[in-house]
Structure 1
Amino acid sequence: MDGPWVGTWRPHRPRGLILAQFTSPGPQYFIPGTTGYVGHNPTKARAPAYSFRGSKPPAVESCGPGPCYAVKPAITRKGKYVAPSAHLQGRPRTKIDITPGPSDYRIETASRHVFKCPPALSIASRHNPTRTDRTPGPGAYMLPRMLGPNTVYTSASPCYSMAGRSQRGRFDEDLAKTPGPAAFPKVPVDVYKTRAPAYTMGVRPKPGATIAVKPGPADYSVGRVTLIKPQAPACTFGIRHSIYTAPLITE
């Protein structure tokens, strides 16, 4: 049965069963979904989930150089980007192999292989006969030695080898390894005694050589001392008193 219109929808007989006709819990229990992160079906594979965050607030002090430094467009985070280019190089040289021509072959000797011909024998020189009488002479044998330690069938006497004298265990061996008198240098006498005056012998000046003229004692004015003192020294002349004169005694 169709009822009156309720807005744009009019009640009608349901075509199938609805959940309101059952006494079961109804749509409270359902199969978990396979989309989303929360409540995902545990028996199904779940794709990775990403969270979206807002943009970060601007920093108080920027650590970058700012737009004052212009970065070239070819510089990427993986390095400098260079477009593919072709390299130009010279044409490779073609190697020509020189093969033999028809005139380089001898076809005269091919007749014996193509046509029938009588057998031909080649005549060669006679080989040297093989000598079979090369037996060793008496000088090819050598008797075993009779002297020395390596004899064949005789007993050898004891052999001794002469060796040099050993440097260890001798009576003059220096076990302390101390230096000898010749290992020390000669000490100069000036080290432990008063050094004597040393003079240098110069060469005689050549005649005509320029000799520096130095001032003598007469070139100095010893009386002119007023340059460095207030006045020149002055001397007074008095009388000589007798040593026998009695001193004057007054009250």
Structure 2
Amino acid sequence: MEEVVKKRPIISARERGPGPGRYNLPPTVGYINHDFTKPSSPAYSLHNRMSSAMVAVDSSPGPRYNIEANVTRFGRMETPSYSMLGRGKRTRIELFQTPGPGAYSPERAPPLNGHQRPPSHTIGARTRYRSVDAVPAPNSYSLPSLLGCQVPNKPSSASYSFSARRRVGAPSEDLSMSPGPGKYNSTNPDIYRQRQPSFSMQSRTKRPDYSSATPGPGMYSPEKYYLHLPKPPSFTLGVRHSEFVTPLVVHVAD
């Protein structure tokens, strides 16, 4: 009688992974397809052997350079040399092209290099005559008054005015009409001085009518209050994890 084997679902965690030979990592030797996560050294190549004809054949020029005697390693050593130009052609018309002394006007030149220059003046044209009626008389001018404070550009003395006579029985005569101390509104000192702390009183709380509303000693938990007392260490137990959970890898070795 054949034995019945119960098939269970395949769990990927129980399956063993492939061996190291299954992975194809990039090489760390050489320059082509080198692993970019690893440092690589510089690569050099060897050139092929050069032909012996370049050594046997003399391709350099010999001592055939023509160096002048006045050229040294410090430069050219020679005395200054001059040359004279030939006489130019002059015609009779060209003799009269030179300006004479009267062609210059040095007085029109502007002052240069801080030279002093006398003042220059010009005379204008004669003004046309006007009729006598067009000239205003001395009494046609009106100067502003110097009394009062109406002239803005002139200094003025202090000005005063007289008030009307007060009626009989005014506060200056009848002291009963003057306001008393309670008529004035005093300013709060907190506005112009340092403000003092202010407190208020709460109303009386209502006491419970029955004794069951008052909490007993068991209602309080002083052991849970650690604001001003030292607190001992506390530990907790975690839950049981499955063996198939992937572990957390934090640091990966190179």
Whether the TM-score (by the shorter chain) exceeds 0.5 is no
Q: Which of 1 and 2 has higher RCO (CA within 8 Å, sep 6+)?
A: 2
**Band of TM-score, shorter chain:** under 0.3
TM-score by length of 1: 0.16
Q: Which has the larger radius of gyration?
A: 1
- Report the TM-score when normalising by structure 2: 0.16
